[in-house]
C-alpha cells in the first residue's frame, strides 16, 4: 500500500488539470465529483498508508518519482519522504481538505466560478502535499511557492472587487519576502553541505557544526524568515487578516488549517539545525510569544467575524512557534493538528453564518442565531471552546496546556514565555467568547436568508467531533497519560527535556491554565451579555489603544511608509528611464554640433575661397614654425 | 554540411517567399512556414540522434569548414555543439511561431516582411554556429539589418525612432566588436605569422594583459548591448514596444540570446584572464540589471514596454550567472536563455493578441477580462507565473541554478538578486491584475483566443511546464559545452576574486 | 648675359598671385572671378619659369606649358558653368548661387 504514496499528490493534481482543461463547460455536479473525489481518494489512500505505516512500524519511506535535475554536485529528485511528521500533516491536509471540499460544494453552489474554484483548491492541495512530502528543500520550495500561488488565486477569487485583488497581491508579495530569505538559506545550505536533501543535511549538520555555530545560526534565521512569511508571524503577519477576502472555505483550508502552518512544518522539519543554533531557536520562541500577544489584542477589537478568526489564527500559530522555540517539537505539531480541526470548523461555521446572512461580516449586526441555526451554533461553540481551551472536554485544552506546561517546565522554557502564553490564553478565551456571545446570543438583527444543507452541516459536525475527541490521543501525566502523538513523532522529533525539579508543578500549571481560560469566558460573559455598556465604556476610554489594535498595530502603515510608497515613488518618477536621458542628451549634443557646423556652409563661394586661403596660410605658417 | 543547409534553407526560403508574394501572399506565408519547419525537423533529427557525442570531450556534433577568402584566413566554418544545438532548436522552434504570428497581422508588403523575417532567423542561426570571427561579424550584420526593416516598416506609431535607436545601438557596438576582432587578428598574426579568423586558433593567443583587456571590452560592448545590460538597455523598450508582434517575439526570444551566447562562446574563452578580472563588475552589472529592470517594469503602463523591462531584469540573471564561473550557474544561464525566450516571447504574443482586439497597449484601459477570455487568462497566468519564477515552470530552474551557482562567487550580490524576485512578483501580479482581474467596464468585442493563437500559445505553455518538471535533457545537452568553458576559467591563473565576494564560501 | 635676380621674379609672381586672390575674394561677378583665377594661375606659372631659370632646368617651362593647357581647359569648363549659372539665375553674381547653404 505504501508504494502508492505518489498517488496522494498526483490525484489532486490530475483533478486540477481536468478541471482547468475542461473549463466551465463542465456540469457542476461532475466538477464537484472530480474536485471532491480526487481529495477523497487521496484521504483514503492516506488512511490506508497511515495504517500500514503504524502497524509495520516503518520509520521512514522514500520514493523517487523521477530525477528532477542534476548539475555538477547538485542532484535534486522529484522524490518523496514519508515519516511520522509528514504523515500527520498528510492526514490533516487530505482529511480536513476533503471535508472543506465537501462543504464548498454547498457553499459555492451558486457561484459562477464553481469549476475554477475547485481547480484552484485541488491545485492547492497538490502543492501542499508536495511541500510536506518533499525529501529535498527544492521540492519543498516548489510546494511552498505553489501554495503561495493558490493562496493568491483564491484570495482574489472574486476578482471583480479591486480590494480582493489587492489583498491577494499583498499576501503573495509579503510571503515572497519571506521566501527570499528561505531561498538564500537554501543557497547557504548548499554551499555548506553540497546537497539539498533534508535527511542528509540533518545527519551531516551535527558533524560539521558545533552548537552555536555562526553559519548554523545564520541559516536558521534565514529559514525562520521563510517560515515567518508563510505563517504570518511578526513582522510579516499583516497579510493574513486581509486574506479573508477569499471565500470562507479558502480561509478555512489555506489560511487556518494548512498553508499558514507550513512555517511550523519547515522549522519542525529542520529541527536539527535549530538545535545547533540556540540563538535562532530562542528567537523562534520570542517571535511566537510576541505574535500571539499582539495578534490576540487585535482580535479583541475586530468586528468582522472572519477577521477575528484571522487574528486568532496568527495568535495560535504564535503558540506553535513558541512551542518550537522551546524545543517542544511534538507539542507544536500536536497543537497544529488540533488547531487545524477547530479553526477549520470555526471558519466553516463562520462562513455558513455569513452566507446565511447575505454576506454580512460584522458580528454586531448578527446576534440571536442560537435559535435560528442550531447546528451551526453548537458546532461553533465546540470550536470556540476548543480555541479557548475549555478544560477537560475540549481538544484545544490538551494541546495548549502542553505548550503552557513546557513553556514553564521545559528546559528551554522560562518565566517570560510562560507569562506570555498564559496572558495569550486569557485573551484568547475573551475574544473567542466575545465572538460567540455577540453572534449567537442577544436579539436577532439580520434575518437568516438561507439555511445550510446537509453538505455544509456534515463537515461541521465531523470537525466538531474531532475538536473534542482529537485531544484524547495525547493526555498529560496528570490526566490519563496517553502519549500516542509524541510516541508517533518520537523517531523524527526529539522529545522535550524537562527542567530538573519541575515535574511536580505540572498539575499547578494545569489548574492555572484552566482557571485563566474559564475566567476569560466569564469576563466575556459579563462584558457582552450582562453589562454590554461596560464594554463600550472600556472601548471609548481607551479609544487610541483600540484604534491601534483594530488596525493591527499599524504594521500596514509602517510598511506603506517604509517600503511600498518609496518603491512606487521611485518607480513612478523614473518611469521614463533616467538612463535614456543620457542617450537622448548624446543625440541632442550631436545634433547641436551638426547644426553649428552646418552654419559654416554658407553657400557663398567667396567664403569658401577665403577658407581655403586662410587654411593654406595657416598650414604654411605652421610648417614654418614647427620645421624651420 | 547540414548546418550550411539549415542556413541556406532559410535564406533561400526568404528570397523565394519574397518573390512569390507578388502573386500570392498565402503561398508566401506557406513557403516561409515550410522552410522554418524543415529546419526544425532537421535540428530535431540531429538532437534525437546525437546521444553519444554529447559526452564531455567529444568534438563537434556537426561541422562544416569551407575556405572562403583564404588569403585573409577567412573560412566558412560552422560547427555545432550542445549549446549551439539548444540555441538552434530554440531559434527554429520560435521561428515557426513568428511566421504564424504574422499570418493576420502583416498585410502590407508581405513578401518583403517574410524575406526579412527569414533572414533575421538565418543571421541568428548563423551566429549560433559560426566558428570564424569574420563570419561572426557577417552574421551579426545579417541579423541586424532585416530587423531594422521589420521594426521600421511594420512597427507601431513611433517605429522610425525605435528602428533608428535599435540600429545605432547595435551597429555602434558591433563596430567595436569588429575592431576587437581585427585587433585580435593582427595580434595573432604578428605573434605566429599565421593570419586567421579561426576561433580555435585564436583561442590561445598570447598577448599583454592590457591589450587583452581592451580587446575583450570590444567584444563585451557588442554582447552587453545586445543582452542588454543596464545602462545599455534603453534601445530595448523602444524597439520591443514599437516592433510588430513577430518582431518583438524574435527580439526578446532570440536576438537577446545572441548576446548571452556570444559571452559564453567568444568573450570568455578568448580572453580568460581579463574576463576573470571583469567578473565582479559583470556580476554587479547583472544585479543592477535585475533590480533596475524590475523597478522600471513596475511603473510601465504600456504592456509591451513593461514586458521589455522584465527582459532587462531577466537578462541580469544571465550576466550574474556567466560571470560567476561555476558550472551550476552556467547551466542556469543556458536554461534562462531558453525559458526566458519562451515565457517573454509568449507575453509579447499575448500583448499582440490584446492589441489586435483593443488597439491599445495601455494596461490602464484594460481590466476584468477573465470572464470574457478565460482561456487567454489561464494561459497568461502560466507565463506571468513563469516570469516571477514560480517553481514547476522552466524559469524557476534557470533562476534557481543561476543564483545557487552565483552564491559562492558573491553572496552579497546573490542576496540582492534574490530579493529582486520580490519586485518581480510585484510587476508580474500587476500584469494579471490590470488586464484580467478587477472590474470589467469595457464595451469592446473581446473574443477569446482563436485557433491560430492557441496553436502558438499552447505549445509554448506546454514547453515551459515541461522544462520546469523535466529539465534534465536540456542540462545534459549543454553539459559538455558548459564544462569546457567552466574548466577554461578555472585553469587560468585566477587573481584574487575578492572585491565583492565576501570571504568566499561560508565554510567553517 | 645679364640676369635678373630671382627675388625680383618671385616678388612679381607673388604680387600677381596676391592681386588675383584678392580680386577673387572681392569680386562678385563670376567672369571677373574667372579672370582673377587666370591671373593666379599665370602667377604660379611665372614662379615656375623663374625657378626653372634659376636652376637652369627645363622643368619649369614644362610645368608652365602644363599650366597653360590646364588653364585653357579650366576656362572652357568655367565658361560653360557661367553660362549655366546665368541661365538659371539670370545674374552673374556669385553670391546669388548659394543653394548649397547648409
Q: Quote the pLDDT of residue A217.
A: 93
**A275-308 confidence digits (pLDDT tens):** 999 999 999 999 999 999 999 999 998 888 899 9
What is the SS3 assignment for B500? coil
Tell me the C-alpha distance between B86 and B481, whole Å: 11
Distance from the A580 Cα atom to the nearest Cα atom in chain C, whole angstroms? 30
A604: chain C residues, CB-CB within 8 Å: 94-95, 98
> Is the distance from CB of B489 to CB of B398 less than 8 angstroms?
no
A169: chain B residues, CB-CB within 8 Å: 426, 429-430, 433
Q: Is the pTM of this model over 0.90?
A: no
Instruction: Measure CB to CB from residue C98 to each of A600, A604, A610 and give the nearest one.
Output: A604
Q: Quote the pLDDT of residue B490.
A: 53
User: In which residue are the cell numbers 558653368 written?
Assistant: C81
Q: Quote the pLDDT of residue B304.
A: 92
**B301-324 confidence digits (pLDDT tens):** 999 999 999 999 999 999 999 999
Instruction: Measure CB to CB from residue A192 to each of B331, B439, B506 and give the nearest one.
Output: B506
Residue of B288, B299, B466 to mutate, interface with A, max A Cβ within 10 Å: B299
Maximum alpha-carbon separation in chain A: 120
**B404-445 confidence digits (pLDDT tens):** 999 999 999 999 999 988 999 999 999 999 888 888 877 777
Does residue B188 register a pLDDT over 80? yes
Tell me the C-alpha distance between A300 and A432, whole Å: 8
| DSSP 8-state assignment for residue B58 | -
| Residue B349 lies in domain | 278-470
Q: What are phi and psi of A538, to 5 degrees?
A: -60, -45
Does residue B58 register a pLDDT over 80? no
Does residue B499 register a pLDDT over 50? no
Q: Quote the pLDDT of residue B207.
A: 86
- Residue A224 is inside which H or E element, if any? helix A214-230
Tell me the C-alpha distance between A47 and A88, whole Å: 11
Instruction: Measure CB to CB from residue B401 to each of A71, A159, A572 and give the nearest one.
Output: A71
Instruction: Measure CB to CB from residue A190 to each of B234, B404, B429 and give the nearest one.
Output: B404
Q: Quote the pLDDT of residue B186.
A: 92
The count of other CB atoms within 10 Å of the CB of residue A268 is 25
What domain count does chain B have?
1
Tell me whether residues A601 and C95 touch, CB distance under 8 A: no
Does residue B52 register a pLDDT over 80? no
Tell me the C-alpha distance between A476 and A499, whole Å: 16
Position B273 in a domain:
no
Tell me the C-alpha distance between A127 and A144, whole Å: 7
DSSP structure string for B122-184: HHHHHHHHB-BHHHHHHHHHHHHHHHHHHHHHHS-TTHHHHHHHHHHHHHHHHHHHHHHHHHH
**Segment-wise mean pLDDT, segments of 10 residues, chain A, 628 residues:** 87 92 84 92 92 85 88 88 90 93 89 89 93 93 93 91 90 92 93 91 90 91 93 89 90 90 93 91 93 92 90 93 91 92 93 87 83 88 91 89 88 89 93 90 81 86 91 82 82 83 83 91 90 84 86 87 89 86 91 88 83 92 83
What is the SS3 assignment for B436? coil
What is the SS3 assignment for A288? helix
Does residue B178 register a pLDDT over 90? yes
Instruction: Measure CB to CB from residue C25 to each of A600, A602, A609 and give the nearest one.
Output: A609
ipTM field: 0.91
Q: Quote the pLDDT of residue C2.
A: 64
Tell me the C-alpha distance between A611 and A606, whole Å: 8
> Is the distance from CB of A157 to CB of B373 less than 8 angstroms?
no
pLDDT above 90: percentage of residues in chain B: 58
Tell me the C-alpha distance between A507 and A89, whole Å: 30
The size of the A-B interface in CB pairs under 8 A is 146
Q: What are phi and psi of A97, to 5 degrees?
A: -60, -45
B233: chain A residues, CB-CB within 8 Å: 579
Tell me the C-alpha distance between B490 and B35, whole Å: 42
A603: chain C residues, CB-CB within 8 Å: 97-102
Tell me the C-alpha distance between A512 and B171, whole Å: 80
Q: Does A588 touch chain B (CB under 8 A)?
A: no
> Is the distance from CB of A575 to CB of B306 less than 8 angstroms?
no
pLDDT above 70: percentage of residues in chain B: 93
Instruction: Measure CB to CB from residue B438 to each of A159, A180, A571 and give the nearest one.
Output: A159
Tell me whether residues A71 and B391 touch, CB distance under 8 A: no
| DSSP 8-state assignment for residue A358 | T
Position B397 in a domain:
yes
Tell me the C-alpha distance between B52 and B64, whole Å: 20
- Residue A57 is inside which H or E element, if any? none
Distance from the C98 Cα atom to the nearest Cα atom in chain A, whole angstroms? 4
Tell me whether residues A603 and C102 touch, CB distance under 8 A: yes
A93 exposure class (CB count in 10 Å sphere: 0-12, 13-18, 19+) = buried
Distance from the C55 Cα atom to the nearest Cα atom in chain A, whole angstroms? 23
**B337-389 confidence digits (pLDDT tens):** 999 999 999 999 999 999 988 888 888 888 888 888 888 999 999 999 999 98
Position B5 in a domain:
no
Q: Quote the pLDDT of residue B217.
A: 92
The count of other CB atoms within 10 Å of the CB of residue B197 is 26
Tell me whether residues C94 and A609 touch, CB distance under 8 A: no
Chains with ≥3 CB–CB distances under 8 Å to B: A
Q: Does B160 touch chain A (CB under 8 A)?
A: no
Q: Which three cell numbers stand for residue C78?
A: 568655367
Domain extent listing, chain A? 341-415+422-541, 547-576, 577-626
**B230-274 confidence digits (pLDDT tens):** 889 999 999 999 999 999 999 998 999 999 999 999 988 889 888
Position B224 in a domain:
no
Position B362 in a domain:
yes
Q: Which three cell numbers stand for residue A592?
A: 547641436
Q: Quote the pLDDT of residue C72.
A: 93
Which sign does the torsion angle of CA A605, A607, A612, A613 carry? positive
Q: Quote the pLDDT of residue B487.
A: 61
**C7-63 confidence digits (pLDDT tens):** 899 999 999 999 999 999 888 888 999 999 999 999 999 999 999 988 888 989 999
Q: What pairs with residue B80 in β-bridges?
A: B62
Q: Does C24 touch chain A (CB under 8 A)?
A: yes
B437: chain A residues, CB-CB within 8 Å: 156, 159, 165
Q: Quote the pLDDT of residue A40.
A: 93
Amino acid at each position: 500500500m505504501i508504494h502508492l504514496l505518489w498517488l496522494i499528490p498526483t490525484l489532486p493534481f490530475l483533478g486540477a488539470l481536468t478541471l482547468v482543461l475542461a473549463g466551465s463547460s463542465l456540469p457542476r455536479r461532475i466538477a464537484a465529483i472530480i474536485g471532491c473525489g480526487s481529495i477523497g481518494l487521496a484521504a483514503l489512500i492516506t488512511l490506508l498508508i497511515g495504517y500500514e505505516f503504524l502497524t509495520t512500524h516503518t520509520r521512514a519511506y522514500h520514493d523517487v518519482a523521477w530525477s528532477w535535475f542534476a548539475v555538477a554536485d547538485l542532484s535534486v529528485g522529484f522524490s518523496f519522504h514519508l515519516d511520522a511528521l509528514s504523515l500527520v500533516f498528510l492526514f490533516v491536509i487530505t482529511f480536513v481538505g476533503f471535508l472543506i471540499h465537501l462543504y464548498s460544494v454547498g457553499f459555492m453552489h451558486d457561484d459562477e466560478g464553481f469549476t475554477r474554484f475547485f481547480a484552484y483548491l485541488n491545485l492547492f492541495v497538490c502543492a501542499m502535499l508536495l511541500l510536506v512530502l518533499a525529501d529535498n528543500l527544492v521540492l519543498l520550495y516548489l510546494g511552498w511557492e505553489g501554495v503561495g500561488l493558490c493562496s493568491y488565486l483564491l484570495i482574489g477569487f472574486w476578482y471583480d472587487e479591486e480590494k480582493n485583488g489587492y489583498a491577494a497581491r499583498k499576501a503573495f508579495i509579503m510571503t515572497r519576502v519571506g521566501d527570499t530569505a528561505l531561498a538564500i538559506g537554501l543557497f547557504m545550505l548548499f554551499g555548506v553541505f553540497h546537497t539539498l536533501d533534508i535527511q542528509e543535511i540533518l545527519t551531516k549538520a551535527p558533524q560539521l557544526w558545533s552548537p552555536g555555530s555562526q553559519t548554523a545560526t545564520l541559516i536558521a534565521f534565514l529559514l525562520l524568515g521563510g517560515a515567518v512569511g508563510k505563517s504570518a508571524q511578526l513582522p510579516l503577519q499583516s497579510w493574513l487578516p486581509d486574506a479573508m477576502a477569499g471565500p470562507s472555505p479558502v480561509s478555512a483550508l489555506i489560511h487556518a488549517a494548512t498553508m499558514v502552518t507550513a512555517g511550523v512544518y519547515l522549522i519542525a522539519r529542520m529541527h536539527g539545525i535549530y538545535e545547533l543554533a540556540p540563538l535562532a531557536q530562542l528567537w523562534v520562541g520570542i517571535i511566537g510569544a510576541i505574535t500571539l500577544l499582539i495578534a490576540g489584542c487585535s482580535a479583541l477589537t475586530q468586528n468582522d467575524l472572519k477577521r477575528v478568526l484571522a487574528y486568532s489564527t496568527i495568535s495560535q500559530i504564535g503558540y506553535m512557534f513558541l512551542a518550537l522555540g522551546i524545543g517542544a517539537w511534538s507539542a507544536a505539531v500536536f497543537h497544529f493538528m488540533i488547531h487545524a480541526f477547530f479553526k477549520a470548523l470555526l471558519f466553516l461555521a463562520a462562513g455558513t453564518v455569513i452566507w446565511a446572512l447575505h454576506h454580512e461580516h460584522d458580528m454586531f449586526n448578527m446576534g440571536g442565531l442560537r435559535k435560528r441555526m442550531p447546528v451551526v451554533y453548537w458546532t461553533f461553540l465546540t470550536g470556540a471552546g476548543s480555541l479557548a481551551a475549555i478544560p477537560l472536554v475540549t481538544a484545544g485544552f490538551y494541546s495548549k496546556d502542553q505548550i503552557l506546561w513546557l513553556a514553564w517546565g521545559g528546559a528551554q522554557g522560562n518565566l517570560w514565555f510562560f507569562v506570555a502564553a498564559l496572558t495569550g490564553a486569557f485573551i484568547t478565551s475573551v475574544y473567542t467568547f466575545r465572538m460567540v456571545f455577540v453572534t449567537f446570543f442577544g436579539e436577532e438583527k439580520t434575518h437568516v436568508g438561507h439555511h445550510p444543507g446537509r453538505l455544509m452541516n456534515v463537515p461541521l459536525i465531523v470537525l466538531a467531533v474531532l475538536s473534542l475527541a482529537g485531544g484524547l490521543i495525547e493526555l498529560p501525566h496528570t490526566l490519563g497519560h496517553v502519549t500516542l502523538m509524541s510516541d508517533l513523532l518520537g523517531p523524527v522529533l526529539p522529545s522535550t527535556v524537562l527542567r530538573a525539579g519541575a515535574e511536580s508543578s505540572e498539575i499547578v500549571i494545569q489548574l492555572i491554565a484552566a482557571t485563566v481560560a474559564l475566567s476569560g469566558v466569564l469576563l466575556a460573559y459579563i462584558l457582552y451579555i450582562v453589562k454590554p455598556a461596560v464594554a463600550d465604556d472600556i472601548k471609548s476610554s481607551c479609544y487610541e489603544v483600540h484604534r491601534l489594535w483594530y488596525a493591527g498595530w499599524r504594521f500596514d502603515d509602517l510598511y506603506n511608509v517604509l517600503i511600498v510608497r518609496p518603491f512606487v515613488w521611485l518607480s513612478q518618477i523614473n518611469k521614463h528611464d533616467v538612463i535614456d536621458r543620457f542617450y537622448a542628451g548624446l543625440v541632442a549634443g550631436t545634433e547641436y554640433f551638426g547644426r553649428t557646423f552646418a552654419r559654416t556652409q554658407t553657400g557663398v563661394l567667396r567664403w569658401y575661397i577665403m577658407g581655403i586661403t586662410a587654411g593654406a596660410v595657416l598650414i604654411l605658417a605652421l610648417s614654418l614654425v614647427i620645421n624651420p | 554540411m547540414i548546418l550550411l543547409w539549415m542556413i541556406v534553407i532559410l535564406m533561400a526560403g526568404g528570397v523565394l517567399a519574397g518573390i512569390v508574394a507578388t502573386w500570392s501572399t498565402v503561398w508566401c506565408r506557406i513557403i516561409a512556414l515550410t522552410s522554418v519547419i524543415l529546419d526544425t525537423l532537421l535540428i530535431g533529427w540531429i538532437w534525437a540522434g546525437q546521444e553519444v557525442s554529447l559526452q564531455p570531450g567529444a568534438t563537434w556534433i556537426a561541422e562544416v569548414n569551407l575556405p572562403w577568402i583564404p588569403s585573409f584566413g577567412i573560412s566558412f566554418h560552422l560547427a555545432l555543439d550542445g549549446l549551439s544545438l539548444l540555441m538552434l532548436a530554440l531559434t527554429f522552434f520560435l521561428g515557426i511561431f513568428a511566421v504564424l504570428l504574422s499570418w493576420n497581422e502583416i498585410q502590407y508588403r508581405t513578401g518583403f516582411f517574410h524575406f526579412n523575417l527569414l533572414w533575421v532567423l538565418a543571421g541568428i542561426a548563423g551566429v549560433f554556429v559560426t566558428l570564424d570571427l569574420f563570419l561572426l561579424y557577417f552574421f551579426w550584420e545579417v541579423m541586424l539589418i532585416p530587423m531594422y526593416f521589420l521594426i521600421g516598416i511594420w512597427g507601431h506609431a513611433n517605429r522610425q525612432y525605435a528602428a533608428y535607436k535599435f540600429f545605432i545601438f547595435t551597429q555602434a557596438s558591433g563596430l567595436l566588436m569588429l575592431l576587437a576582432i581585427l585587433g585580435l587578428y593582427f595580434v595573432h598574426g604578428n605573434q605566429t605569422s599565421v593570419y586567421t579568423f579561426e576561433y580555435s586558433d585564436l583561442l590561445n593567443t598570447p598577448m599583454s594583459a592590457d591589450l587583452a583587456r581592451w580587446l575583450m571590452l570590444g567584444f563585451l560592448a557588442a554582447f552587453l548591448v545586445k543582452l542588454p545590460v543596464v545602462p545599455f538597455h534603453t534601445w530595448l523598450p523602444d524597439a520591443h514596444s514599437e516592433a510588430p508582434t513577430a518582431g518583438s517575439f524574435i527580439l526578446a526570444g532570440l536576438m537577446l540570446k545572441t548576446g548571452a551566447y556570444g559571452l559564453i562562446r567568444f568573450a570568455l574563452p578568448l580572453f580568460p584572464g581579463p574576463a576573470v578580472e571583469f567578473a565582479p563588475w559583470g556580476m554587479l552589472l547583472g544585479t543592477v540589471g535585475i533590480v533596475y529592470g524590475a523597478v522600471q517594469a513596475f511603473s510601465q503602463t504600456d504592456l509591451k514596454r513593461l514586458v521589455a523591462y522584465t527582459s532587462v531584469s531577466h537578462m541580469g540573471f544571465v550576466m550574474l550567472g556567466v560571470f560567476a564561473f561555476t558550472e551550476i550557474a552556467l547551466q542556469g544561464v543556458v536554461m534562462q536563455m531558453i525559458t526566458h525566450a519562451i515565457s517573454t516571447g509568449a507575453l509579447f504574443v499575448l500583448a499582440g493578441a490584446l492589441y489586435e482586439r483593443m488597439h491599445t497597449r495601455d494596461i490602464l484601459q484594460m481590466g476584468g477580462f477573465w470572464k470574457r477570455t478565460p482561456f487567454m487568462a489561464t494561459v497568461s497566468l502560466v507565463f506571468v507565473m513563469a516570469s516571477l519564477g514560480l517553481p514547476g515552470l522552466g524559469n524557476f530552474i534557470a533562476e534557481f541554478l543561476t543564483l545557487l551557482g552565483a552564491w559562492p562567487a558573491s553572496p552579497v550580490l546573490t542576496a540582492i538578486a534574490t530579493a529582486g524576485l520580490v519586485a518581480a512578483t510585484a510587476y508580474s501580479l500587476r500584469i494579471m491584475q490590470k488586464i484580467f482581474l478587477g472590474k470589467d467596464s469595457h464595451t469592446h468585442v473581446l473574443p477569446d483566443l482563436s485557433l491560430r493563437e492557441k496553436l502558438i500559445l499552447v505549445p509554448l505553455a506546454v514547453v515551459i511546464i515541461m522544462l520546469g518538471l523535466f529539465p534534465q535533457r536540456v542540462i545534459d545537452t549543454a553539459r559538455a559545452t558548459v564544462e569546457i568553458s567552466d574548466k577554461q576559467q578555472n585553469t587560468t591563473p585566477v587573481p584574487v576574486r575578492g572585491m565583492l565576494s565576501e570571504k568566499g564560501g561560508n565554510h567553517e | 648675359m645679364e640676369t635678373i635676380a630671382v627675388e625680383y621674379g618671385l616678388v612679381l609672381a607673388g604680387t600677381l598671385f596676391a592681386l588675383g586672390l584678392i580680386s577673387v575674394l572681392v569680386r562678385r561677378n563670376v567672369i571677373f572671378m574667372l579672370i582673377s583665377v587666370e591671373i593666379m594661375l599665370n602667377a604660379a606659372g611665372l614662379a615656375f619659369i623663374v625657378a626653372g631659370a634659376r636652376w637652369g632646368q627645363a622643368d619649369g617651362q614644362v610645368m608652365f606649358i602644363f599650366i597653360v593647357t590646364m588653364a585653357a581647359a579650366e576656362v572652357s569648363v568655367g565658361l560653360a558653368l557661367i553660362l549655366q549659372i546665368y541661365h538659371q539665375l539670370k545674374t552673374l553674381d556669385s553670391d546669388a548661387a548659394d543653394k548649397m547653404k547648409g
